[in-house]
Amino acid sequence: MTKPTLPYTTIEQVLTPLLAPVLPTPFQSLSPAEHWMLDSVRLSLNGWGGVSPNPLVGAMVLDPQGKIIGTGWHAEAGKPHAEPIALESAGIIPQGSTLVVTLEPCNHWGKTPPCTRSIIQSGIQKVVVGCKDANPLVAGTGIEALLCAGIEVQTGVLEALCQQVNRAFFTRIEQNRPFVALKWAQTLDGKLATRQGHSQWITAPPARTWVHGMRAGFDALLTSASTVAADNPSFTCRQSDILPVRPPVRVVVDTALRLNPVEYQIFDTTLAPTWVIMGEGVSINKTHLETLKTKGVKVLSAALNSTGCGLDLADVLRVLHEADIGKVWVEGGGKLTSAFLQADQLVDDVYAFISPKLLGDASAIACFQQANIPWKLPIGASFSLFNVAHIGEDALLVLHRVES
């Protein structure tokens, strides 16, 4: 029986493979608070493609009879948070009303006032919180402020789901570097491309639509000079209805600026911004540097890795972190993918597509052909299998890094 082809046109469809193991099952009976939280999580997803580096947050206001009278979500970094939007949309708040929010309300002045202040001023009597905020500026103080104001607080409702929704946000704060998702697509026999270097298309259209929807939620999409040379990708989010508020920055690691910018569409900055990261102290192609600048491409530099070949990927992430990049989507060939996996604890999520196609050619490019990973079983840097999803005719493996 053929599986129906899913369109992946809504944020919920795109994010379901990342959340499925912690979503309530259809047969699970939920408490009213869990029902409200599930709806608030749905609201939070509307911020995909707008909120980063902030978290996704959804909120709703319920009157004392449990009727929804206000809803809101955080839509864009720097813009109002979910809680004040939900409170404002509710209008006059009846006595005994409840606020449901997926993440602990903030209690500090940032680009917007503290959410705890608007909650306390609104007369809300109870707040239901999905999970605590790991951000040291909040971390429990939001809940404390509400309790001190005499508001009843219920925490940990659908906690695993609420944490999962903001996995990237929490990881970035804990690791003090951007969250990194590594995506690749391989054939059943473990190949990334034909022997001539053709990788379009290993997966079927639904997987590609899913990828474009996912890219929309990232700040940067990173690839290599070799992949640009082989595929001439535009590397945008065009094949999806899910469009980001600002297009993610396309980042090319090109150690010696070997790519001629006039030859590749990724350097057309009218589509999206492009940054190139070159090696520090490397002899570069100066004509290419001038052309990149004329085309509006930002050129940054990072340290070389210890072998002197290619960039130090931890330093690449440091450079991106300093440039306010919170989430990086990596889509490279075998060498870059291997190098990221080989580097110590730099990859947080792996999205590996396995297509049912066989190339049947020993000389086709293998996934980790170039790797020199000194791993033995049990594997050193390991991942846990979080989910296996059917996306069109391809399988998607979602892996999470295991802390060592």
Select from 98, 164, 199, 236 the one that contacts ligand NAP (CB under 6 A).
199
CB neighbours of residue 324 within 10 Å = 11
> Residues 113 to 152: which contact ligand NAP by CB under 6 A?
none
C-alpha 5, offset from chain centre = 24
Q: Closest residue (Cβ) to ligand NAP?
A: 333
Q: How far is the CB of 296 from ligand NAP (least distance, A)?
A: 21
Interface with ligand NAP in residues 356-395 (CB under 6 A): 365, 370
- Binder to ligand NAP among 253, 330, 346, 396 (CB under 6 A)? 253
**Among the listed residues 221, 325, 223, the one whose alpha carbon sits nearest the alpha carbon of residue 272:** 221
Q: Out of 226, 236, 240, 301, name the contact with ligand NAP by CB under 6 A.
A: 226
User: Least distance (Å) from ligand NAP to the CB of residue 202?
Assistant: 5
| 48, 332, 364, 386: which one binds ligand NAP (CB under 6 A) | 332
Distances from the Cα of 393 to the Cα of 7, 341, 390, angstroms: 12, 27, 7
Q: C-beta of 125: minimal distance to ligand NAP in Å? A: 52
Out of 56, 207, 251, 339, the residue judged to bind ligand NAP by CB under 6 A: 339
258 contributes a contact to ligand NAP by CB under 6 A: yes
The full DSSP string for 90-130 is H-SPPTT-EEEEEEPPP-S-SSS--HHHHHHHHT--EEEEE
| 316 phi/psi in degrees, rounded to 5 | -60, -45
Structure tokens at 318: 């440091």
Residue 94 C-beta: closest distance to ligand NAP, Å: 54
Single out the residue of 316, 306, 246, 235 nearest to residue 276, CA to CA: 316
CB of residue 284 to ligand NAP, shortest distance in Å: 11
Report the residue number, 62 or 225, with the smaller CB distance to ligand NAP. 225
Q: Which of 62, 165, 185, 359 binds ligand NAP (CB under 6 A)?
A: 185
Nearest to 401 by CA among 353, 349, 352, 351: 349
Only segment of 10-18, 85-93, 225-233, 378-386 that touches ligand NAP (CB under 6 A): 225-233
Catalytic residue among 12, 34, 83, 280: 83
DSSP strand pairing (126-131 vs 152-154): parallel
* Catalytic (active site) residue 12: no
C-alpha–C-alpha distance, residues 79 and 51, integer Å: 9
Query: Given the complex with ligand NAP, which of 153 and 204 has the nearer CB atom?
Result: 204
Contact segment (CB under 6 A) with ligand NAP among 30-38, 122-130, 184-192, 293-301 equals 184-192
**Alpha carbons 80 and 58: distance in angstroms, whole number:** 12
Structure tokens at 345: 């604890």
| Residue 230 interacting with ligand NAP (CB under 6 A) | yes
Q: What is the per-residue DSSP string for 160-198?
A: HHHHHHTHHHHHHHHHTS-EEEEEEEE-TTSEEE-TT--
CB of 396 to ligand NAP, least distance (A): 12
Q: What counts of helices (H) and strands (E) characterise the chain?
A: 12, 16
With beta carbons less than 8 A apart as the criterion, state whether 217 and 45 touch: no
DSSP states along 315-345: HHHHHHHHTT--EEEE---HHHHHHHHHSTT
* Residue 140 Rama label (left phi>0; alpha psi -120 to 50; beta): left
String of contacts with ligand NAP for each residue 291-330, x by CB under 6 A: --------------x----xx-x-----------------
Considering only 61, 127, 192, 242, the residue that binds ligand NAP (CB under 6 A) is 192
Nearest CB to ligand NAP, comparing residues 118 and 186: 186
Of 19 and 253, nearer to ligand NAP (C-beta) is 253
Q: Does position 346 bind ligand NAP by CB under 6 A?
A: no
**Least distance in angstroms from the C-beta of 279 to ligand NAP:** 7
Active site residues: 83
Summarize as ranges the residues that interact with ligand NAP (CB under 6 A).
184-185, 192-193, 197, 199, 202, 224-227, 230-231, 253-256, 258, 305, 310-311, 313, 331-336, 339, 365, 370
